[in-house]
Amino acid sequence: MTQPLKISVVGGGPGGLYFAILMKKADPRHAITVYERNRPDDTFGFGVVFSDETLDNIQNADPETFAAIARHFVYWGEIDIHVRGRTIRSDGHGFCGLERKTLLMLLQDRARDLAVELNFETEVNVDALPDSDLIVAADGINSGIRARHADHFKPSLDWRKNKFSWCGTSRSFPAFTFDFRENEHGIWILGAYQYKPGMSTLVPECDEETWLRAGLDKADEAQTAAYLERTFADLLDGHPVLTNRSIWRNFPMIKNERWYKDNIVLIGDALHTAHYSIGSGTKLAMEDSIALAHSFSVKGSVPEALKHYETTRREEVEKTQHAADVSLVWFETPRRFWKLEPMQLAFSLLSRSKQITYDNLKRRDPAFGAEVDRWWAGKVERDLGFDVPANNPPPPMFTPFRIGAITVQNRVVVSPMNMYSAEPGNIPGDFHLVHLGKLAQGGAGLVFAEMTSVSEDARITPGCPGIYSPEQVKAWTRICNFVHANSQAKFALQIGHAGRKGSTRLGWEGMDQPLIDGNWPVVSASPVRYRADGHLPTEIDRAGMNAVRQSFVDAARNAHIAGFDMLELHMAHGYLLSSFISPLTNQRGDEYGGSLENRMRYPLEVFDAVRAAWPADKPMSVRISATDWVPGRGLDIDDAIEIAKMLKAHGLDIIDVSAGQTTSEARPVYGRMFQTPFSDAIRSEVGMPTIAVGNITTADQVNTIVAAGRADLVALARPHLTNPNFTLAASADYGWDGQAWPAPYLSGKDQAFRLAERDNAELSQLREQARAPITQRRTAFLASKSADS
């Protein structure tokens, strides 16, 4: 057994108390003291929320604490969404509400039972704890310990835009409730949940402009309550709004580069925050406590345990914070979702943080999932005029879409992928025929060929195909003919000029690294290298710009001759046209540099010339980088919205929304569907169709993005490399018979459907087994409450 420790916990909130409980339970020899600045029964706010998963963690860590909590919490599985006179309910979620004060009292009692020393109304300085083996900083958002050692912990605080307040009411809500409404001051969002019989928490939220127009910057608590009572009178049904330090505030997103210093460790709000829209900070703090106590159970010393805690816990915290950040951005842009129909707003709300998806929601609440499908089928029929069956509607990804004058059979796109496999003369050969032909036969509605060079010096690598010679056009014609003869896919060509990222090695030989020999001159908007060891480009002059523009025009004409259905201009990822758009790569002093309007002047000039040369009955798209991922200096989403508006005004049919790869300074924030929010913003703000890209890997994600209105089409790259039949496989998985299969493959279709049905049944059974403890707990709790009543 390891030596007992003298532990000082600074902060007597749920996180600090629970850590003390777990450590004392693990080894009663530990001498543990909790120091809290407030009185024992002081608490601010009203109730806390725990999910099923958090309850499981608490139950597994300390069944006694869980049992005490379970006697007091209110349980529900429904979410009610009130919008424009409708109430839309989704079931199967699983939450409990608990009074914050009750939680503190229960944890204090449990700590005393275990002989933890509790000191209230006590301010303590870490210098006064020199003999502590471990100091746990659980002292909240305004942590004095974190501030004192800020140079070491390196905290970052991001104060978010919206205003919110913690309030309460005597109205009991039957479900976790969201209410969306608009008054003369702006759009209001209210979150509400019951935390004990006859009492609920209210969290009103709005943007700062609405808050100011309502005069709430000058309001005291009583005036705030009166305003909310008027605004939400029908929902409150005569019940008052209650206050408890219910001041208006902005949410701080807190992160720390380091989590511990010597024997001092941060937990809870001192360490991190996650927006309340995906759960309470109490949940994170108590789960920190579980993780930290576990680290001491598997490591023999304080330094080893603290290192283990940070190493093992950080990823989970960062995932939660990322989900919370995505969620809070959704709430910060109410005008975007306010345009949606009520059902789509509800689905967008539920799927906003990516924790709930189309498939997940259908498992939680099959009736609600079926209603989403019926609503989507009706929307496609109303908006686009397609006949979509309402009695047995397809999943959203299998509904058609119209781009300009062409129709794609479903919402799946094969994204352009550089293959670096052209034959001598930069001719697409047998590899491209097999590669693209197979992808087209795999069922996607739209297939893109890789970025294709408009001239020899526009190539990225020596292995990139072109469309500037008769031999290349002939080869592309062969491929187009195969795609059209053997699939229902529409075939698009992306054309571009590599600019400063040209004259580099094949992807697998050194991405973006200059050729060892055989280099050709490269140009860019300005003489700025892409990477330190990369080519120094020449600033392209007016004569060069004219020549490049003509190369794009010639490429467009050749693409039409070859038989492509759609054309895309590559204005992203740091290539030539992109280099004009970003302020990080365009440092020109002429009329093509400076303001965004000036930086867009040449890309728009090329677009106009190509649009004039490309047949009017064939659509065009443009791929853009919606952000440079360099905050404060590079392009951001507001710039991307303006770029999209300009392109729309010039006749663009659909915009392909990517991000980054414009500069080696980029610091992207990766994750599932990580670029989709940019598509969502442009689609809503600009009112034009979009293609979403970026780490989208499953049919479930495609359905989620489309049904939520975040994009009209969804492009996948690598998943199609591992499974060219991605869309056919998805049709079998969903049991959707309406997807076209190539005639030679029909013999495999029935088997695919049968196997998918069997696999889905087995997977469903495994999920039910995994959720059995949660289901049993919920059933037992509801039965006990029924017996009590």
**Which three-class secondary structure string do you get for 645-668?**
HHHHHCCCCEEEEECCCCCCCCCC
Residue 241: which of 167, 182, 294 has the closest Cα? 167
Q: Strand 6-10 and strand 134-137: pairing?
A: parallel
Give, in order, the Cα–Cα distances in Å from 410 to each of 396, 450, 654.
Answer: 8, 20, 16
- Which residues, including other chains, have CB under 8 Å from residue 694's CB and lie 6 or more apart? 658, 659, 673, 674, 675, 676
Q: Check residue 44 and give its pLDDT.
A: 78
How far does the chain reach from its first CA to its final CA, in angstroms?
Answer: 47
Per DSSP, 91 falls in state -
CB 510 within 8 A of CB 464: no
Backbone angles phi, psi at 398, to 5 degrees: -100, 20
Q: What is d(CA 597, CA 457) in angstroms, rounded to the nearest whole number?
A: 28
- The residues that bridge with 452 in the sheet, in sequence order, are 495
CA-to-CA separations, 177 to 78, 173, 236, 472, 561, in angstroms, rounded: 9, 7, 12, 60, 57
- Give the pairing of strands 406-408 and 490-496: unpaired
The CA distances from residue 87 to 115, 363, 738, in Å, are: 49, 21, 33
Question: What pLDDT, on a 0 to 100 scale, did the predictor assign at position 775?
Answer: 61
Neighbours of 300 (CB within 10 A): 10
Q: How far is CA 279 from CA 191, 299, 727, 733, in A?
A: 12, 30, 35, 32
Question: Three-class SS of residue 100?
Answer: helix
**Amino acid occupying residue 490:** K
469 CB burial (10 A radius; 0-12, 13-18, 19+): middle
State the pLDDT at residue 786: 53
Token code pair at residue 233: 């009178």
Please tell me whether residue 124 adopts helix, strand or coil conformation.
coil
Q: What is the per-residue pLDDT for 771?
A: 65
Residue type, 232: F
Amino acid at 299: K
- Return phi, psi of residue 620, to 5°: -125, 145
Decide: 575 and 548 in contact? Cβ < 8 Å. Answer: no
Residue 141's closest CA among 276, 263, 261? 276
Length of the chain: 789
Angle of CA points 86, 89, 95, to nearest 5°: 140
Q: Which residue ranges of the chain lie beneath pLDDT 50?
A: 1, 789
- Compute how many other C-beta atoms are within 10 angstroms of the C-beta atom of residue 646: 17
CA distance 617 to 29: 80
At 776 the pLDDT is 66
Nearest in space to 15 (alpha carbons), one of 292, 259, 310: 292
Residue with tokens 């001491």: 296
DSSP reduced 3-state for 120: coil
179 Ramachandran zone, left/alpha/beta (phi>0; psi -120 to 50): beta
| Active-site entry in 575, 592, 602, 734 | 575
Determine how β-strand 199-206 pairs with β-strand 186-196. antiparallel
Amino acid at the residue 757: E
- Rounded Cα gap, residues 131 and 605, in angstroms: 72
What pLDDT is stored for residue 1 in this prediction? 43
> What gap in Å lies between CA 369 and CA 347, rounded to an integer?
9
CA distance 660 to 678: 12
**659: CB partners within 8 A, 6+ apart:** 625, 626, 627, 629, 668, 675, 678, 694
37 in Cβ contact with 63 (< 8 Å): no
Q: Could you give the C-alpha distances from 377 to 40, 148, 318, 598, in angstroms and in order? A: 56, 58, 37, 43
Cα–Cα distances in Å, from 505 out to 385, 411, 462, 463, 532? Answer: 48, 34, 7, 9, 16
Structure tokens at 595: 């303001």
pLDDT of residue 780: 65
Q: Which tokens in the block code for residue 176?
A: 């976790």
The answer to whether 497 and 453 are in contact (CB under 8 A) is yes
What SS3 class is residue 716? strand
pTM here is 0.94
State the alpha helices, DSSP H only, in 385-531: 430-441, 470-486, 507-510
The total of other beta-carbon atoms located within 10 Å of residue 771's CB is 15
Residue 388 has, within 13 A of its CA and on its CB side, a CA count of 27
Q: Where are the alpha helices (DSSP H) in 240-365?
A: 281-298, 302-332, 334-338, 342-350, 358-364
Residue 373: in which H helix or E strand, if any? helix 366-384
Tokens read off for 605: 């000039």
Q: Residue ranges of the alpha helices (H) in 385-469?
A: 430-441
Nearest to 585 by CA among 493, 508, 500: 500
What count of other Cβ atoms lies within 10 Å of the Cβ of residue 85?
8
- Known catalytic residue: 358? no
Describe the crossing of helices 542-562 and 601-613 by its angle, rounded to 10 degrees.
30
- From the CB of residue 25, how many other CB atoms can be counted at a distance below 10 Å? 18
Residues 6 or more apart whose Cβ sits within 8 Å of residue 489:
408, 409, 439, 440, 443, 444, 445, 446, 447, 483
Phi-psi region of 767 (alpha: psi -120 to 50; beta: other; left: phi over 0): alpha
Closest CA to 715 of 447, 517, 503: 447
